[in-house]
Amino acid sequence: MNVRLSPSTLTGTAAAIASKSDVHRLLFCAAQADGPVTIEMNSTSPLSEDILATAGVIRQLGASVVYEPGTFRVEPAKETAVSPLFDCKESGSTLRFLLPVAAARTEHPGFTGSGRLPERPIGELLKALSENGVTPTAEKLPFFFEGNLKSGVFRLPGNISSQYITGLLLGLPGLSGDSEIRLTTALQSAAYIDITLHALGRFGIRVLPLPDGYHIPGGQTFHSPGTLTADGDWSNAAFFLAAGAIGQKEVSVSGLSPDSPQGDKAIVDLLKNSFGAGVKRSGPSENGTYTYTVSPAPLKGAVIDVTGIPDAFPILATIACFAEGPTTFVGGERLRLKESDRIASVRAMIDSLGGQCEETDDGLIVQGKDVTGGVTGGVAGGTVDACNDHRIAMAAAIAAMNAKSDVLLEGAEAVNKSYPSFYQELTRLGGIAHVI
């Protein structure tokens, strides 16, 4: 699907959708619980392709999953599934969370996926599982597991994917013996582990920190909390908050928690203290969440480390196009292993929009106003390939609202991975977008 986006002024309030990161984890916990679980979300939260993939695989685990607008109801598995085939679609988090859970909870499971998923790294996780009783029949999708997962010591690098660690944290508590996760390198994206630990805690699962990892007592039960509410999604809220910084009028996002373990809540600090945008917070509302409002201001370039916030990189690079002077992004080595090579695809997006940037091994240097448009700054317009990456598509769309001419976004349907209603929300706030 191609979408033509025309320069326009965004203003108003968007309601934060439910956090994809949180819902993934809550679904896996619910599937292993000792009773029914109801997961409540913002009633306008769309069902993203990634969440649909996770709902599908926990059904294969034996759980019943019923969705009604704004709510998941999960009846946990009662029997061990034998030879289930799990289709993880294009969701890396679904696959990496599932592998240890399936190894612990099923017999002879099979795994498949589509898109770029078979090429995304899982080797270190498979190695750790194979050292503890489970052998994959191939090194990449599709494959089956042979053998039974045993408790023990699981050694992993901490600088490739925090999703490996999350998968083990979700899968190991139900084993009969104690286990340890030992990190052989420093942990990156620690905030994503914090999201996992928060979800586990809501089901009564204990995880003890170690100097180089985690101790997971065995024989634990996932106790159903009954009904719980998913966190608002800071990662997707960042796109509309950014629109307030680079546009002509203020834009607000409601339903966000400053106490969230999500690393991408750093967008507020980066907008205010690194780029210089106007940021204010109002609330709390009855459910304890807040509304954040961002208003335009003269923006300045900065040095930004994206080690812990890789998902925010595309929209941060977009903001940098409208800032005075260069912005340097560092710490993004793992960005090359996302839905696209995000360093290369963000560079291509900026180039296509008429901006100028320079790719580095671990990031990007965006030149900003002085090069991309003199006094007015910003981007010119053009044709952008979304590279099958939802965050590239959304970043390009926000840039297009403030471009000098139309932007043709190719592969615009990539937003379905995390935010299927993104273009509807964009147009509700005043954006102009037409499918062609």
E strand or H helix at 143: strand 143-146
The dihedral through the CA atoms of 68, 74, 79, 80 has a sign that is: positive
Phi-psi region of 435 (alpha: psi -120 to 50; beta: other; left: phi over 0): beta
Nearest to 235 by CA among 430, 8, 50, 431: 50
- Count the Cβ atoms, other than its own, within 10 Å of residue 352: 20
List, as one string, the DSSP characters of 155-214. Answer: EE-SSS-HHHHHHHHHHSTTSSS-EEEEESS----HHHHHHHHHHHHHTT---EEETTEE
Out of 311, 351, 362, 385, which one is annotated catalytic?
311
Active-site annotation holds for 233: no
Q: Is 200 helix (H, G, I), strand (E, B) or coil?
A: helix
How far is 343 from 332, CA to CA, in rounded Å? 8
Q: 334 CB contacts (<8 Å, ≥6 apart)?
A: 159, 160, 161, 188, 189, 310
Q: In this structure, what token pair is assigned to residue 199? A: 């979800």
How far is it, in rounded angstroms, from Cα 261 to Cα 197? Answer: 9
Q: Quote the CA–CA distance of 430 and 436 in Å, as a whole number.
A: 19
CA distances for 401 relative to 196, 294, 304, 331, angstroms: 35, 16, 24, 29
CB 232 within 8 Å of CB 257: yes
Q: What is the largest CA-CA distance in the chain?
A: 66
What CA–CA distance (Å, rounded) separates 297 from 276? 7
Residue type, 273: N
Q: How far is CA 208 from the centre of its chain?
A: 25
> Which residue, 346, 396, 404, 407, is CA-closest to 376?
404
Residue 381: CA atoms inside 13 Å, Cβ hemisphere, count? 13
175 touches 150 (CB < 8 A):
yes
Q: Interior CA angle at 279 toward 273 and 281, to 5°?
A: 125
Contact 299/327 with Cβ under 8 angstroms? no
Task: Please identify every residue annotated as catalytic.
Answer: 311
